Amino acid sequence: MTYVPTTLIDRSFREKIVLVGVQFPGVTVEELDHQLDELALLVDTAGADVVARVVQRRDAPDPATFLGSGKVIELREICLAMDSDTVVFEQNLSPAQQRNLEKILGRTAIDRTAVILDIFAQNARTPEGKAQVELALLQYRLPRLRRAGGSLSQQAGGIGTRGPGETQLEVDRRRLVHRIHRIREELKQIDRTREVQRQGRDRGRHREVTLVGYTNAGKSSLLNALTDAGVAAENRLFVTLDPRTRQRQLPGGETILVTDTVGFISNLPHELVEAFMSTLKSVQLADLLVHVVDGASDDAESQIAAVRDVLREIHADHVPELLVFNKADVPGSRSRDLAKVYEGSVWVSALTQDNLDDVIGTVGDRLRTKDRVMTLRLPIDRGDLVAAAHREGDVVATSVNDEYVTVRVVLDDVGVARFAQWRYIA
């Protein structure tokens, strides 16, 4: 698979960034400040420095420049004074607004979606992850192709070649569309391979637990605590793009599969949701979602809502959910208090593993509401039944005497019905 590297922020040096946010009706000053704080963190993660913020209150965005004409001139003066390289808008810009702003400001203008895509491009490691990110980037750039010597990105060196006029623009568009189709076909092939692997796991009847949560909530740290996975767990946004699955044995002896997934964020770009849909199937098909929440965040409640919005968007809101409030070890953390407010939730410190046993026990209890742990007493000469028990479920323990093979096995409803006559109750 050929990966075409693309960036939206130049990382050969630390760009100077001016943030822009618009307060629309229904949005408080505090909410907009929080949105800009998160955008500043995204910009820092992408490798640039915020040097100023500009805020305007409007009833609706200006169709041509998003901001009012006077505010755009003020923004240009601020950019000149700060010698900024790029302007980043909290809200999404249309291609026309972006072009008009760049003409007036004399510098690159991008939006929050572009910053998130850029971070994903930095963190993509596997061929699948790189292809998914490239697909999202190209879908974002397709309507932003420039006329008369433009390229596929705001900066020189983008995909395609420069050329005069409409003819070259159409050539670039055809190349880009062709590349999008090729990547989609490659991802379909990867998805088919993953489906075969998933069917193999289904035959083993191992229950699947998927970790979801806001970016930097500590999902990878919890995966390490649960399974000794040894995966990278850094205090940065969107470190994990590719799903990682590890085994874990529950106290009752059952084996489960625990999968870590890409972190979510409020207003996750639709380009990313579409591109990562094959990866997000692990969320849709899970038996239980462990929703990891940063209990040390002042905005934990909003982050919970944002994750649930994404779950609805990817049609995974039907999967049972267990809220786990992480980072209980952080001074001032509200993990314990939040676990009392949200019924059925638990708190944990993935770093120190404090209260980890409670998390494991609760996961097992939730899964057993769907499973049945049965003890079967099978005749010693019925090897076919013993083999069937291994095929149908997860055998936890086996003992043999002169007459019987006693098997303790985790079965689903179909398996319970099939082995009902062999059930043994001591």
Alpha carbon separation from 416 to 270, 371, 421 (Å, rounded): 42, 9, 9
Name residue 49's beta-bridge partners: 16
What pLDDT score does 285 carry? 84
Query: Whole-prediction pTM value?
Result: 0.75
What pLDDT score does 152 carry? 42
- Of residues 128, 126, 81, 93, the one with CA closest to residue 8: 93
What pLDDT score does 198 carry? 65
Find the radius of gyration of the CA atoms of the chain. Answer: 26
| Distance in angstroms (rounded) separating the CA atoms of residues 92 and 271 | 13
Residues 149, 164 contacting (CB under 8 angstroms):
yes
Question: Dihedrals φ, ψ of 26, to 5°?
Answer: 95, -10
What pLDDT score does 36 carry? 95
Residue 363 pLDDT > 90: yes
What pLDDT score does 200 carry? 61
| Distance in angstroms (rounded) separating the CA atoms of residues 232 and 160 | 35
Residue in the structure block whose two tokens are 């693309």: 6
- Of residues 383, 325, 381, 322, the one with CA closest to residue 354: 325
What pLDDT score does 202 carry? 56
What pLDDT score does 155 carry? 45
Q: Which residue has the higher pLDDT, 306 or 191?
A: 306
pLDDT confidence band for 426 (50 / 70 / 90): low
Tens-digit pLDDT profile for residues 239-248: 666 778 899 9
Tens-digit pLDDT profile for residues 299-358: 999 999 999 999 998 889 989 999 999 999 999 999 999 999 999 999 999 999 999 999
Residue 166 pLDDT > 70: no
What pLDDT score does 235 carry? 67
Region of 5 (left: φ > 0; alpha: ψ -120 to 50; beta: rest) is beta
Q: Count H helices and E strands in the chain, helices first.
A: 14, 13
- Of residues 205, 219, 350, the one with CA closest to residue 287: 205
Q: At what angle do helices 95-105 and 69-82 cross, to 10 degrees?
A: 50
What pLDDT score does 153 carry? 43
What pLDDT score does 240 carry? 67
Residue 172 pLDDT > 60: yes
Alpha carbon separation from 227 to 81, 280, 360, 361 (Å, rounded): 52, 21, 11, 14
- Of residues 336, 357, 337, the one with CA closest to residue 347: 336
Residue 11 pLDDT > 50: yes
Residues 319, 286 contacting (CB under 8 angstroms):
yes
- Of residues 381, 386, 375, the one with CA closest to residue 424: 375
- Of residues 222, 275, 78, the one with CA closest to residue 70: 78
Q: Which residue has the higher pLDDT, 279 or 388?
A: 388
Residue 192 pLDDT > 50: yes
| Distance in angstroms (rounded) separating the CA atoms of residues 18 and 71 | 14
pLDDT confidence band for 210 (50 / 70 / 90): very high
Residue 229 pLDDT > 90: no
Q: Which of 192-206, 214-228, 384-398, 399-413 has the lowest mean pLDDT?
A: 192-206
Q: What is the token pair recorded at 373?
A: 């742990």
What order of strands is seen across the sheet that includes strand 108-111? 48-57, 15-23, 86-89, 108-111
Strands (E), 90-243: 108-111, 207-213
Residues of the chain above pLDDT 70, percent: 86
| Distance in angstroms (rounded) separating the CA atoms of residues 5 and 40 | 24
